[in-house]
């Protein structure tokens, strides 16, 4: 494995993944061996291995079962399924069975919310889990049947495309967009991208022409195109479908970006949860090379460009572009201090453009049809179409493509939502909309979204949604800066207090304080957005929180005096001196 990766430390995430696949886990001896092999200090290798949740530095069994823990999975009773499997296998969630055979745990959203509850078994995706399948799974594990021999229908992942527009309705042939772009030349293509008004589809909406021009104009030994396929936002799965069924549009888009900025190398950062796509994508890249659509002298036009796929290892923060670049360089995915920005100092310190999968696919359409055609779709400030991943309380979960400007109400009608109470418009990191806002429009100037639309009907307790989101962010915070590291953990504790019947108005005020603190002082977008939905829920769905308030006064999270009862029993004392006074108890607990 080391030789295949040229003993190159910047390939460390790939090396660790492949070694773990081969050996089952990353032992201290293995990490030392890898460190020697790539010529890096052992501590550096260990810090990368310890950062990603899909790497394990202790044995977790022959079978590693991870239940997707997004709120939409929970709504489909994923927690009951996990408990059932644990009972059958005689183990506790988060632990390894006594015989060392299997471990069961949860993981953040796996990008399969349209066909949940979802599970990763040895990092292979399983969909539509039921109690019956859980029974069978326990049986297969006890009989030590390899995951590859489990029923093939369990691994079936559907596209679930429900509404097509210009992108999902495209009939462009592989290489057609690239040929059109080569005919226009770099300047002509950039002019069309500018005319189109194309903005990044990851959610931030930065102008693609500005990003590409800045990168092209930056000095460097080499330029790079990175396709950000690390869609980890809870409730998002549109990139999964683009990669699975529209991959040539994405690859053409990467080649087009490469031509525009003067790059000869592209990298796809594929999220670890989508590892099941890897073989198919690698095969397709090879077919394109054989057809002269990738590699040296593409289409005989003197332009060379090739693509490498890098698989992530379970870290939501790597969707942030500078964290993603750190990961591509073999390091923990912690966001860089900016400036400088990736367009001037990106991958290996060279000018790099990082684009969303959907943005690149749309660039292919623009290369063929032109900027004016694209600008005529959508709204003046938000041109073109947007892919939405719709899940939750709807009859038809899946992918919907709309011109920008569509209202939330239209989406709800199309997907068969009834009695809708709330909609989260950008996964866990965006706003939570109440019924009186369903007339609002999906557009950068109104409701901006990376594409995750989760729907909650009147049966749902919004408090459960808030708690799930808070747990998600506390788990995914990279820990680099204090406001986010501490703030996300404090929010979980405050919500747990309410859930455990110890809440008071003080706790709600404290959540507001965390919001203000994290918004202003966090280092990256994760900390800045981690409390947006929670704030919305506190304001718009206040009763869901207030009905859990136990007292109008401050209430400690636990009863310290009661916690000392065991010590009193052991010392056979129950006099006044062996009890804490109420005041002292409250003070210490706080």
Chain positions contacting ligand SF4, by CB under 6 A: 317, 335, 477-481, 484-485, 522-524, 526-527
Instruction: Write down how long the chain is.
Output: 590
CB of 565 to ligand SF4, least distance (A): 38
Minimum CB distance to ligand SF4 smaller for 115 or for 228: 228
Geometric angle at alpha carbon 442, from 252 and 243, rounded to 5°: 25
Minimum CB distance to ligand SF4 smaller for 185 or for 520: 520
- Structure tokens, 322: 């500078």
Mapped onto helix, strand or coil, the DSSP state of residue 278 is: helix
CB of 320 to ligand SF4, least distance (A): 7
CA distance 67 to 499: 22
CB of 211 to ligand SF4, least distance (A): 21
CA distance 133 to 142: 14
SS (H, E, C) 446-457: CECCCCEEEEEE
User: If 0-12 CB within 10 Å is exposed, 13-18 middle and 19+ buried, where does residue 23 land?
Assistant: exposed
CA distance 287 to 207: 32
Minimum CB distance to ligand SF4 smaller for 209 or for 326: 326
Minimum CB distance to ligand SF4 smaller for 23 or for 204: 204
CB of 520 to ligand SF4, least distance (A): 12
Contact 212, 193 (CB under 8 A): yes
Minimum CB distance to ligand SF4 smaller for 247 or for 316: 316
Q: What is the dihedral of CA 50, 56, 57, 61, to 10 degrees?
A: 170
CB of 230 to ligand SF4, least distance (A): 14
Burial 521-535 (b: 16+ CB within 10 A, else e): ebbbbbbbbbbbbbb
Minimum CB distance to ligand SF4 smaller for 195 or for 485: 485
CB of 536 to ligand SF4, least distance (A): 20
CB of 532 to ligand SF4, least distance (A): 13
Minimum CB distance to ligand SF4 smaller for 388 or for 530: 530
Q: What is the full DSSP assignment across 202-264?
A: TTT--BHHHHHHHHHHS--S--EEEEEE---STT--HHHHHHHH-HHHHHHHHHHHHHHHT-S
CB of 202 to ligand SF4, least distance (A): 16
Minimum CB distance to ligand SF4 smaller for 416 or for 479: 479
Under the phi-then-psi rule, with left for phi > 0, alpha for psi from -120 to 50, and beta for the rest, what region is 577? alpha
């Amino acid at each position: 494995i080391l030789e295949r990766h040229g003993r190159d430390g910047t390939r460390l995430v790939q090396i660790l993944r492949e070694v773990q696949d081969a050996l089952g886990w990353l032992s201290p001896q293995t990490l030392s061996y890898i460190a020697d092999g790539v010529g890096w200090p052992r501590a550096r290798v260990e810090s990368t291995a310890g950062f990603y949740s899909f790497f394990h530095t202790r044995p977790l069994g022959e079978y590693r079962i991870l239940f997707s823990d997004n709120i939409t999975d929970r709504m489909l009773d994923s927690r009951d399924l996990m408990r059932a499997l644990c009972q059958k296998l005689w183990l506790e969630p988060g632990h390894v069975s006594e015989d060392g055979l299997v471990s069961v745990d949860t993981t953040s959203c796996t990008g399969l919310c349209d066909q949940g509850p979802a599970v990763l078994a040895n990092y292979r995706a399983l969909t539509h889990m039921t109690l019956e399948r859980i029974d069978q799974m326990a049986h297969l594990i006890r009989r030590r049947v390899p995951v590859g021999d489990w029923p093939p229908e369990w691994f079936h992942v559907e596209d679930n495309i429900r509404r097509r527009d210009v992108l999902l309705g495209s009939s462009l042939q592989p290489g057609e967009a690239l040929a059109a772009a080569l005919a226009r030349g770099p300047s002509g293509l950039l002019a069309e991208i500018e005319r189109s008004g194309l903005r990044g589809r990851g959610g931030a909406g930065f102008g693609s022409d500005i990003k590409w021009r800045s990168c092209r104009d930056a000095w460097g030994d080499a330029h790079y195109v990175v396709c950000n396929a690390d869609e980890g936002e809870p409730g998002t799965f549109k990139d999964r479908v683009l990669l699975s069924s529209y991959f040539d549009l994405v690859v053409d888009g990467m080649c087009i970006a490469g031509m525009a900025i003067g790059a000869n190398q592209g990298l796809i950062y594929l999220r670890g949860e989508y590892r099941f796509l890897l073989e198919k994508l690698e095969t397709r890249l090879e077919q394109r090379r054989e057809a002269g659509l990738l590699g040296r002298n593409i289409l005989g036009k003197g332009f060379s460009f090739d693509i490498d796929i890098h698989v992530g290892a379970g870290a939501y923060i790597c969707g942030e572009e500078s964290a993603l670049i750190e990961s591509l360089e073999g390091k923990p995915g912690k966001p860089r201090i900016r400036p400088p920005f990736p367009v001037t100092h990106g991958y290996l310190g060279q000018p790099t453009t990082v684009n969303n999968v959907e943005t690149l696919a749309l660039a292919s359409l623009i290369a063929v049809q032109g900027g004016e055609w694209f600008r005529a779709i959508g709204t003046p400030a938000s041109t073109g179409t947007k892919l939405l991943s719709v899940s939750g309380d709807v009859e038809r979960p899946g992918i919907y493509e709309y011109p920008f400007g569509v209202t939330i109400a239209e989406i709800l009608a199309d997907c068969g939502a009834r009695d809708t109470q709330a909609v989260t418009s950008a996964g866990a990191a965006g706003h939570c909309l109440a019924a009186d806002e369903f007339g609002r429009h999906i557009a950068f100037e109104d409701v901006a979204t990376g594409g995750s639309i989760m729907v909650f009907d009147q049966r749902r307790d919004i408090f459960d949604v808030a708690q799930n989101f808070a747990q998600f962010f506390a788990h995914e915070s990279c820990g680099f800066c204090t406001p986010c590291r501490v703030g996300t953990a404090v929010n979980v504790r405050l919500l747990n207090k309410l859930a455990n019947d110890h809440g008071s108005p003080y706790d709600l005020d404290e959540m507001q304080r965390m919001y203000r603190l994290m918004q202003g002082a966090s280092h990256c977008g994760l900390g800045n957005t981690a409390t947006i939905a929670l704030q919305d829920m506190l304001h718009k769905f206040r009763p869901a929180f207030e009905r859990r308030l136990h007292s109008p006064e401050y209430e400690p999270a636990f009863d310290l005096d009661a916690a000392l009862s065991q010590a009193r029993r052991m010392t056979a004392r129950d006099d006044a001196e062996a009890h804490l006074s109420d005041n002292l108890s409250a003070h210490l607990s706080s």
